Amino acid sequence: MRVIATWTALFSIFSLAAAAAVPRGELGDLIVELTQAENQWKKGWLNTSYVLAGDSTTANGTTPNSGGWGNGFCASLVPGTPCINRARNGATTVSFRDGGNWNLTIESAKAEVANGRKTWVTIQFGHNDMKVMTAEAMGVNLATFVDEVRAAGAEPILITSLTRRNFNADNITLNDTLEPWANATIAISQEKKTPLLDLHKWSMWYVEKIGPDAAHRLNRLPDDNTHLNTNGTTVFGR
């Protein structure tokens, strides 16, 4: 959008200059300045990279029509921006480390930092942690992840869990079982002074606004209210 805005501005400047008879030398200098600013903006984006860590609600799908929000997020970035999705289906904050996925995440982050890019590592867990550990235990693991990302020279972003699209009998409100784990993520973000994206809050708001019929059209399969199809990855990843 900024590229379009810049060229619109350039066109406007040409028109105004012609009307006001601005000297060509001054106009040329102004165009050079605007072009340099635009190039600097694009360079800034291309010097940024992202590494995604999490469970299946972040992970790339095994088929073109399945997966988490990570697909849509990477696709929404300025073309050429590195976006490495290390999320793993079924992962908890414990199994993600034990299975070697966290080490891959850190190695990817280090490589991006070594290439001179400002590297952001997104961290979203909860869907599977809630089945095997307390919210407080997950929070301790998240805090360690944050410390290790910073030690690698990258910047952590904590993300609360994408909501499940399970509606109550009223077909208006969601049956939310993830709130304690979302709150634990928020608490760690405050404790560690880490940027937070409250995906849980805003995805709940969005899903309740559009209602069950529209919400379920984002399902990977008709009865899968957790994972996303291609449209869903775009909606929640952009």
For the stretch 43-96, pLDDT in tens is: 455 699 999 999 999 998 766 555 899 989 999 999 999 999 999 999 999 999
Residue that is written with structure tokens 């109550």 in the block: 168
* Average pLDDT over every residue of 213-226: 93
How many other CB atoms are there within 10 angstroms of residue 6's CB atom?
Answer: 17
The residues that bridge with 85 in the sheet, in sequence order, are: 52
CA dist 129 and 126 (Å) reads: 5
Cβ atoms of 227 and 66 within 8 Å: the answer is yes
pTM of the model: 0.80
Structure tokens at 186: 């928020």
pLDDT tier for residue 9 given thresholds of 50, 70 and 90: very low
Which phi and psi angles does 138 have, rounded to 5°? -60, -40
The residues that bridge with 58 in the sheet, in sequence order, are: none
What's residue 110's pLDDT? 99
What's residue 27's pLDDT? 53
What's residue 25's pLDDT? 58
pLDDT of 97 above 70: yes
The CA radius of gyration of the chain, in Å to the nearest whole number, is 22
Q: Would you give the end-to-end CA distance of the chain in angstroms?
A: 14
Amino acid at 17: A
CA dist 67 and 61 (Å) reads: 4
pLDDT of 21 above 50: no
Average pLDDT along the chain: 86
167: left (phi over 0), alpha (psi -120 to 50) or beta: beta
The residues that bridge with 48 in the sheet, in sequence order, are: 118
